[in-house]
Amino acid sequence: MALDTGDKAPDFSLIADNGKPFKLSSKLKGNALLVFYPGDGLPVCKQQLSDYRDSYSDFNELGVEVIAISGDDAGTIKSFKKEHNLPFTLLSDADGEVSKQYDSFGWFGVKRSVYLVDKDLEVKYKHIESVSIYSRSVEELTEMIKRKV
């Protein structure tokens, strides 16, 4: 069954870039933008997450925590975070189980998508890219966040 706006988002626990478990429900203090991306090192992923890094204060001002999730292992996401100086949490979904729960897993692994969830894990917005070479811009996301929160 597809996850839609208004549904309760599945809670999960994944390994974070610091090597420790990250349980969404216990870490979430407000709204979160869950950013599913195909993989560290891919050009579109680097650009997307660098754009979100450069506008991190815009997300913070709107009360939204950015949490990025890929199918790469914990060591890879740790290196990727350090190399690109990413200020937000990166999570490893190496087996794709969480991505599947969020309709963000396809033939080639994790699909590029974003979910806005509130502190009660209600899905306020979702967008799954039909083609992974595209991603939601900071401007699109901040305008959407202003309407949804």
What's the pTM?
0.93
* Rounded Cα distance, 102 and 116, in Å: 12
CA nearest to 14, candidates 101, 131, 141? 101
- Specify whether the CB–CB gap between 22 and 16 falls below 8 A: yes
Neighbours of 23 (CB within 10 A): 11
Q: Locate 76 and state its tokens.
A: 């890879």
Read off the pLDDT of residues 37-80 as tens digits, 9 standing for 90 and up.
Answer: 998 888 899 999 999 999 999 999 999 999 999 999 999 999 99
* Rounded Cα distance, 13 and 126, in Å: 20
* Rounded Cα distance, 65 and 116, in Å: 10
Read off the pLDDT of residues 5-24 as tens digits, 9 standing for 90 and up.
Answer: 999 999 999 999 999 999 99
| Active-site residue list | 45
Euclidean distance between the first and final Cα of the chain, in Å? 25
Residue with tokens 């740790």: 78
CA nearest to 145, candidates 2, 35, 17, 24? 35
